[in-house]
Structure 1
Amino acid sequence: MPDQLARVISASLGTRVAWFLARLLLVSAYVVGGVAKLADWPAAVAEQAHFGMTPPAFWANLTITVELVGAGLILSGRLVWLGAGLLGGFTLLAAFVANDFWNMAGEARFHAANAFFEHLGLVGAFILAARLAPPRPVISADS
């Protein structure tokens, strides 16, 4: 029974639907975040100012672009490596900017450290997504 269950799970995880759902779950926060920032531009700019990013409007625009373009590439299944690189790099930088637990104490340090290491886990997931994505040529001589 355990071997049969393992085969069923393995076969299910190998489907195109499972691969798409995994990518959707991975980028869902970035899609929601990008859309929310577009819907409330003043809050997006204020968020960047809060983290000391200057000029904040430039960084808000760049954040929205990276979140939506990176997520779109990953969801499309094309250039997944590029989308994963954009979001992975963004997430790594954000971890250091927004979760500098080494400069904090008490409960704030605890929460920031947790968020920092969660961000590192996401970076690892983006590396895996880039590595596991089926290769697709952007331009083929045969097309």
Structure 2
Amino acid sequence: MSRSPASSRVDATPAFASAILGWGGTAFLARLALCGAYLLGGVVKLTDFHGAVAEQAHFGMPHPALFAMLTIAVELIGPALVLSGRLVWLGAGMLGVFTGLAAITANAFWTMHGPERFGATNAFFEHLGLIGGFVLTAIMAERRPSGS
């Protein structure tokens, strides 16, 4: 009995994984997982604007109220675009740039020492991973057949 070339490949996707990846809801749930913290953060900041302004002041942002409003807008509009499947490149781009700026501002590990540096280094590189996820999300949306 001969095996087909595809089934004998070591890197062939198992049937259960193909079923999960092929299910229509998987892509949406993955985008929700990627954007969920931003969406939640935007809602929390919107409902506690004073706290959002205080957070911006804590990070030394000039005009903290303005930066709080901009942060809320990015954290709500970016996920809405990514989750809607419309202008995904824009929503993912907004969130990716925001994440990069936040990583540099809040996790400047190169200025820290000791345990603080360790935590900030991990958080910085986790943020880079999120940026990669946003780039991949935009790539996948671009490759999606029109009308789907």
Shared fold per TM-score greater than 0.5: yes
**C-alpha distance in structure 2 between counterparts of 1:78 and 1:16, whole Å:** 17
Which of 79, 90, 94 lines up with 2:87 in the alignment?
Answer: 79
TM-superposed CA distance for 1:12, in Å, is 2.0
2:107 aligned with 1:99: yes
| Matched positions, count | 135
1:140 aligned residue:
none
**Does the CA contact (< 8 Å) of 1:78 and 1:136 recur in 2?**
no
Residue 16 of structure 1: how far off its partner (Å) = 1.9
Does 2:53 correspond to 1:41?
no
CA distance in 2, matches of 1:14, 1:21: 13
Offset, 1:81: 0.9
**Unaligned stretches of 5+ residues in structure 1:** 138-143
- Partners of 1:101 and 1:112 within 8 A in 2: yes
Query: What's the counterpart of residue 15 of structure 1?
Result: 23
SS at match of 1:54: coil
Contact 1:70 1:83 in 2 (8 A): yes
Mapped pair 1:57 → 2:75: no
37-46 or 11-20, larger mean C-alpha shift: 11-20
Give the partner amino acid of 1:46. Answer: A
SS class of match (2:65): helix
Runs (4 or more) in structure 1 with deviation over 4 Å come to none
Give the root-mean-square deviation of aligned CA atoms: 1.7
Q: Following the alignment from structure 1 to structure 2, what is the Cα–Cα distance between the partners of residues 6 and 27?
A: 28
In the superposition, the TM-score normalised over structure 1's length comes to: 0.89
Structure 2 gaps, min length 5: 1-6
Q: Distance in 2 between matches of 1:98 and 1:40?
A: 20
Amino acid at match of 1:122: L
Q: Kindly state the Cα deviation for residue 61 of structure 1 after the two structures are TM-superposed.
A: 0.3
Identity of matched residues, %: 60
Identify the residue that residue 116 of structure 2 maps to in structure 1. 108
Deviation, structure 1 residue 135? 5.7
Q: 1 CA distance for matches of 2:146 and 2:127?
A: 28
Deviation of 1:86 (Å): 0.3
The whole-number CA distance in structure 2 between the counterparts of 1:85 and 1:76 is: 15
Secondary structure in 1 aligned to 2:14? helix
Q: State the structure with more CA Rg.
A: 2
Determine if the alignment matches structure 1 residue 66 to structure 2 residue 74. Answer: yes
